[in-house]
Each structure stands twice: as C-alpha cells, then as structure tokens.
Amino acid sequence: MHKFSLADSPLLKVSRPVSACSRCRSAKVKCDNKLPACTACERAGREKECTAANDQFARGKERSYVAALELRIEKLERRLTYARSTKASVTLHGPDEPPAADQNRKDSLAYIRAAIHRKAVLTQENADINTLVSDFGYLAVNTTTRDFDPSESNMTFARLVLAASTNEPVPEPKTTSLPAEATARALVQFYESSILPLYPAFPGASLHALLSDLYQAHPRPIRSSEYWLFWMVLAISSAAQSRSWQDEHYLNAVEFVARALPHADRALKPGYVTQVQSLLLLTQYSMLDPAHFDSWHPIGFTCRAVVDQGLHQDPPHTQQMDQGALSARRRTFYCVYSLDRAISMVHARAFSFYDDAVSVALPPSGQLGSPLPKGPIAKPPPDASVPLFRLRRLQSEWYQTLYQGDPTQAMPDSTSFIWAKCYEMWEWCEKLPADMPPAIREMLDLELRYSYVYCIASSARGAQVSSYGRLLIFEHTISYIDRVHDISKRSENVAIYTYHDALRVFFMGSQFVAVLRDAGDVLLSGSPIPMPPSIPGKPLPPPAPIRLDRGTGDNLDRSLRCVERVKNTLRLFGDRWEDAFSLLKGFENLSADMWKSLTMKREMRNVAATGQWQQQVPTA
C-alpha cells in the first residue's frame, strides 16, 4: 500500500483573498499594477507568477490563486508519478546517480537530489567560513585584551600561536617533578652568560629569584608566566648545548618544552609585557629546534604583540616614566627587533615592520642581564646587546633598500650606497669594546662578515657586482667558513649557535660558488685586484680583509678547501639538525660543476709542476 505523503495532499494556505482585486474595483480604487505578490508566492520563490493583474491576465479576468495552486499541484503530481515509475532504474544506478538518458532533465529525481545536496554543501561552507571569520575576529580583538579568559572559548591566542608554529607535536612530558636544583642552576647560568647578554629581555636577577622561590620548601604561588620563563630557559640552554638530536641535552630540552606548554594560555595572555617576553623565549627555542617549531611564525606573533602594545614607540614626553622601566622597555623592543631582522634576512623574507614605523631610542649600555662578576673587584663585562642592536639597525637599512624596495625602480647610484653601508659597518666593528668576551666577539665578527657578503651580493635593485666586490665576497666567505667550521667541531658550545647558522653557511657557500662562476679565472690566478678609484664626494669601498690562512696554498687550494668545508660544516650541523642535510644535498648539487672544474685545474697544475721539476733535475 502506498505510504501517505504530504505530496499527495498538500496543505493549501491562501495568504491573500482571491477577491482582493474585485474589492478594489468595487471601491473604485484605481489599480496601478504595483501590488506586492502574495506571501505564499514569495515563500515559494514565484513572485512573478502571482495572481496579480499583469499583461497575461487582464483586469477582471485574473487567474484565481486557488486555481493556480491546483495547476501547480497537477504539475508536481506528474513529476512524482514519473519519479516513481523510474525508481527501479534509478536504483540500478545508485541512490545519487541519475539514469544516463535522463540526467539532464530538470524534473528527474536525481537532478533534484543533486540540487538539494549542492545547496546543503554551500550552506555548510558559508557557515564554516562565518565561524572561522568570527573566531579570527575574536582573536584579533583579544590580542590586546587583558581580561581575556581562556576558559570562555576553545580558541585562544596561545593555541593559535602554537598551531601556526608547530612542525611536529611535542611529546607529552615524562615527569611531573622539578629537575635537580644543581642542574637547573647550571642551565640558568649558561643562559645568563651566553644568551642573556645579547637578548636582555628580562633582568637576570628576576630569573635567579624565581629559581630560589621554586626550590624552597614552601614556595610562594608561582604564576603561569613564571613557570613558562623557568621551563623555556632550561629548554633553550639544553638545546644550545646539544651536539646531536639524539643526545641527552636535546632530549632534556624537548622534555622541558613539554613541561612549559601547559602554561602557554596564561603565559601568552595578551596585553602584558610578559606576553612579549614569553613569545621571545618561544622564538629563541624555535631557532634551536626546527624539527618541532618554525621560528618564522613566533617572531611574527611577537612583533604583532609589540606593535599592539605600543612598544615600537617611545612614550610621549608628557608621560612620566621611571628611567629603569623605560630602559627595560627599550631593551625588550630591541630584542624583538634584533631577532626579527636576523630571522627575516636568513629566510630572505620581508621584515615584520619597517624602520619608518619605529621611534625607539637605543637603551643605554648597562649590565641588565649580564652575569655577575666573580670576585670582589672583578670588572663586569661590557654590554654586548647594544652593539648587536646597532648592527641590526645597520643591516635593516640596506636590506630594506636593496631587497625590499620596488625592483622596478632602479637606484640612482647603488654602488655608492653599498660602499657607504659597508663603511658604516666597518666603523661599527672598530668601536666594539676591546674587553668583550671572546665568544661573543667571535660571533659578532661572523655577523659582520656575513653582512658584508649579503650587502655586496647582487640584488634586484643593486648594480652588477664589480671585480673588487667579488674579491671581498671571496675573502670574507673563506674567513667565515673557516671560523664556522672550527666552531662546529668544538666539543662544547660557549655561545649560542642555531639552525640559522646552517642557513647562513649555505648562503655563504652559494655566494662563493657564484663569484667563482662569474670571475673564477681572475680570482684563482691571485692577480691583485685594485680598489676602485676614489670619487670626490663618494664613499670609499671597505679595504680588503687581512688573510688569516696564509701559508695554506694558493687561491685554487683555498677555494677547494672552502667548498669542502661548507659540505663538512653542513654535515656536522646535520647531526644536530636533520634539516641541515637537505641544505647539504642542495649545496652539493649547486657546486657539483664548480667542484669538478676546480679539481681538474688542480690536476693540470700538479702535472705542469711535475713536468717543470723533471726538466730541472739533471740527468746522469
């Protein structure tokens, strides 16, 4: 027996009386043919088929609304009968697949089902998009909202940061207790002596005070931001001392990060300086553990927080602020500024904000974050952070001009601009304190050589590299690679070197291969390349660097050794960061032809030298 259906006996509801038009005529109301359609037709989407008078039906002979509904029902009954008659064939093709012969008929059941399905999918997509947009809007508002409660929503700012920054999930922590106090203090001491002098985002005294509070028998209530500070400092120090991604230092670092993540929602709470400091620590760790985090995203969020809180601008003169608080505010900003410039340059990407938007004076040289001197009369080490901040500002100026400027707008005199910036960086180096710790001085010297090569190398807006410029790239690259190669073989790390140093080695090696490809014969011959003549009113190029590897062969031997050391350094870095192996493979492909050419030249030179020696030996 056929099952009862609303399609067999539809409910009729007349929204407008059929006699509406006749009543108007009886009242002698002139019809203007602008009456709205009835409610039923509007709901059915058939306003144009309403029974109001139109060109098809003259006044007085309008089609009855009930008659129109009956006619519509007849059409639907015919479609329903047709659908039932073809039900068997539709079943053979599947529930959602129409018969091949009738798939284009608008009155087929499959066509109707497909239309309903498309509409449902579109509705769901629109709902998902609206939900996503509202979530992002909610987060955008709460990036500067102090009263934001993570329990109010499943989506928090911290979860957004971690979702964007995570490459691989961090394993769950294996323990719930604090590490041994001696271990924690040793890691804090390493951070205070190797990292905090360069990035003094918070005073070292507060870190020691927190350490003492945590290991008391009855510790005070510790905030989430303090737990985050404690665990992330331990993680950064452990990762910085790691030599392999399988050694104990690295495994401890991952464990410490896992202990810090439960405090992320409160530590990254928007609107506070602790948010910037917490994001800065996440960025530092990301540079040491690219397997789990991508440093590009944390530094972007950190810069966003800095701008939202107004740290990129000094307070107005009308606002009275303690000098100590003002200095700490400036140091926090320049720590973020320094990392943003370094990370953007090593990835060849745009800065998070331009220098034109910044109006923050450099902090005074002080001892904030420097390790306490040992002994009653020991002289404290000089502040290394301010020289680093100055170098980042110099790098930012030429990088924005050469690499972020409009490539369609040629610079009027790019060569003079490059020589001027190189001279400014040379002046910066000459003003470095003589008593700076050797490890930090070595790191800054590597930064200078890297900056020279980056600035002189060809760019979209720069002029073609001159012969003297290629000589500078050649010499600075060899010195840079020799130093980094020695550092990579050391048994212990005395300064912070990150995965970005592997990226720098790849960049320097690529530039070295490029200058050999462009002017290899001139450079390998060892012929002196004179400095460009001075032009009145124009800056002089920097002097050629002093060769530190004298007695190790000619330029051909030095070139072969440099290419080989690039490979060895990337291979050693690969033991620490697996991603460096992909850099090694890329450099081997890039330098394969050049390596083959250099080895052939060395063989030819050796053969020629052997022939000359045999001619000089007297025969018996």
Which pLDDT does position 220 carry in this prediction? Answer: 87
Instruction: Check pLDDT > 70 for residue 48.
Output: no
Average pLDDT, the chain: 82
Which pLDDT does position 45 carry in this prediction? Answer: 61
What gap in Å lies between CA 398 and CA 391, rounded to an integer?
Answer: 11
Under the banding of pLDDT at 50, 70 and 90, the label for residue 181 is very high
pTM: 0.75
Token pair in block for residue 177: 């207790």
Under the banding of pLDDT at 50, 70 and 90, the label for residue 479 is very high
Which pLDDT does position 46 carry in this prediction? Answer: 57
Under the banding of pLDDT at 50, 70 and 90, the label for residue 31 is low
The residue type found at 422 is C
Of the two residues 380 and 426, the one the predictor is more confident about is 426
Which pLDDT does position 525 carry in this prediction? Answer: 86
Instruction: Check pLDDT > 90 for residue 531.
Output: no
Per-residue pLDDT, averaged over 7-32, amounts to 51
Under the banding of pLDDT at 50, 70 and 90, the label for residue 64 is low
Of the two residues 161 and 25, the one the predictor is more confident about is 161
Which pLDDT does position 620 carry in this prediction? Answer: 47
What gap in Å lies between CA 310 and CA 305, rounded to an integer?
Answer: 9
Half-sphere exposure of 243 (CA within 13 A, CB side): 8
Give every CB contact of residue 219 below 8 A, 6+ residues apart in sequence.
213
Asked if 195 and 370 count as a contact pair (C-beta separation under 8 A), the reply is: no
Instruction: Check pLDDT > 60 for residue 19.
Output: no
Token pair in block for residue 452: 């020279």
Per-residue pLDDT, averaged over 428-437, amounts to 91
Which pLDDT does position 500 carry in this prediction? Answer: 96
Of the two residues 454 and 382, the one the predictor is more confident about is 454
Tens of pLDDT, residue by residue over 256-288, are 999 999 999 999 989 899 999 999 999 999 999
210-238 burial: b if 16+ Cβ within 10 Å, else e: bbeebeeeeeeeeebbbbbbbbbbbbbbb
Instruction: Check pLDDT > 70 for residue 457.
Output: yes
Among 185-189, 216-220, 556-560, whose mean pLDDT is lowest? 216-220
Per-residue pLDDT, averaged over 460-474, amounts to 86
Tens of pLDDT, residue by residue over 301-356, are 999 999 999 999 999 888 888 889 999 999 999 999 999 999 999 999 999 999 99
Per-residue pLDDT, averaged over 595-612, amounts to 84
Which pLDDT does position 63 carry in this prediction? Answer: 52
Residue listed under structure tokens 């009308």? 318
Among 131-135, 148-152, 217-221, 224-228, whose mean pLDDT is lowest? 148-152
Closest CA to 204 of 373, 322, 369: 369
What gap in Å lies between CA 40 and CA 46, rounded to an integer?
Answer: 9
Closest CA to 170 of 283, 291, 296: 291
Of the two residues 234 and 32, the one the predictor is more confident about is 234
Query: With 0-12 CB in 10 A as exposed, 13-18 as middle and 19+ as buried, what is 175?
Result: exposed
The phi and psi torsions of 313 (rounded to 5 degrees) equal -130, 135
Among 26-40, 153-167, 413-427, whose mean pLDDT is lowest? 26-40
